[in-house]
């Protein structure tokens, strides 16, 4: 009996001195894996963040109106400063001076367009190209004294030295109708008149439809 007693006591002491290792909580391991996965995923997202490329046209209007939204339509005024050559215009010096005295500039047009964003690049190096796809509309006088419409894709490089100011926001339906409205104005007002049918008259008619 004494031997059995001493053996039991010895084993109990040995167990206390060398506790049996236990398996770690599985929940702790899962949490560690999750944290690791999140770090890897965040790093991958940063690596895949697209590079934004802005066209010269987009940069120009963003500098004037910063609140630009994809697939939205906007219009802007562009003016020809004193002494600027107006392509296709045959106003007399007296007519230009009269306009200048009345308006403060030699000529005016309107830019109407849409903000676009297009994804490009590769999966590892994606890009987003932002652009302002627009047309410039303005009216001039031809050699016979008739009103003529100038309507073409707007490129910032052609208007680097012309002041541009924000006009407003419009929508697709009105944007799409501008060309037709511009032609109709020329048809209804075929003769140029520095006081009643000039470049400013034309622009304000277009704005009224926007």
Confidence at residue 23, expressed as pLDDT on a 0 to 100 scale:
53
Confidence at residue 96, expressed as pLDDT on a 0 to 100 scale:
92
Show Cβ contacts of residue 154 under 8 Å, excluding neighbours closer than 6 positions. Answer: 57, 111, 113, 132, 134, 135, 136
Segment 9-60, tens digit of pLDDT? 555 555 555 555 555 555 555 565 555 555 545 555 455 789 999 999 999 9
**Using a CB cutoff of 8 Å and minimum separation of 24, what contacts does 120-126 make?**
121/50, 121/51, 123/48, 124/47, 124/48, 125/51, 126/48, 126/49, 126/50, 126/51
Say yes or no to pLDDT of 98 above 80: yes
Say yes or no to pLDDT of 2 above 60: no
Segment 178-200, tens digit of pLDDT? 999 999 999 999 999 999 999 99
105-119: average pLDDT:
97
Q: How far is the C-alpha of 165 from the C-alpha of 81, rounded, in Å?
A: 13
Confidence tier at 160 by pLDDT (50, 70, 90): confident
Q: Write down the pTM of the prediction.
A: 0.77
Q: How far is the C-alpha of 123 from the C-alpha of 64, rounded, in Å?
A: 33
């Amino acid at each position: 009996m004494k031997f059995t007693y001493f053996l039991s006591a010895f084993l109990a002491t040995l167990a206390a001195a060398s506790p049996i290792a236990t398996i770690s909580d599985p929940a702790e391991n899962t949490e560690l894996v999750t944290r690791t996965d999140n770090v890897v995923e965040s790093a991958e997202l940063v690596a895949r963040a697209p590079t934004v490329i802005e066209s010269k046209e987009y940069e120009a209007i963003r500098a004037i109106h910063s609140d630009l939204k994809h697939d939205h339509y906007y219009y802007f005024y562009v003016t020809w400063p004193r002494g600027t050559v107006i392509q296709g215009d045959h106003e007399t010096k007296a007519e230009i001076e009269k306009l200048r005295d009345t308006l403060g500039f030699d000529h005016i047009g309107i830019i109407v367009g849409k903000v676009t964003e297009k994804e490009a690049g590769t999966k590892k190096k994606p890009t987003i190209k932002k652009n302002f796809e627009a047309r410039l509309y303005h009216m001039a006088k031809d050699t016979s004294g008739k009103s003529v419409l100038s309507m073409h894709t707007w490129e910032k490089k052609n208007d680097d030295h012309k002041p541009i100011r924000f006009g407003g926001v419009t929508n697709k339906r009105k944007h799409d109708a501008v060309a037709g409205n511009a032609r109709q104005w020329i048809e209804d007002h075929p003769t140029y008149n520095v006081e009643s049918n000039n470049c400013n008259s034309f622009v304000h008619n277009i704005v009224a439809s926007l």
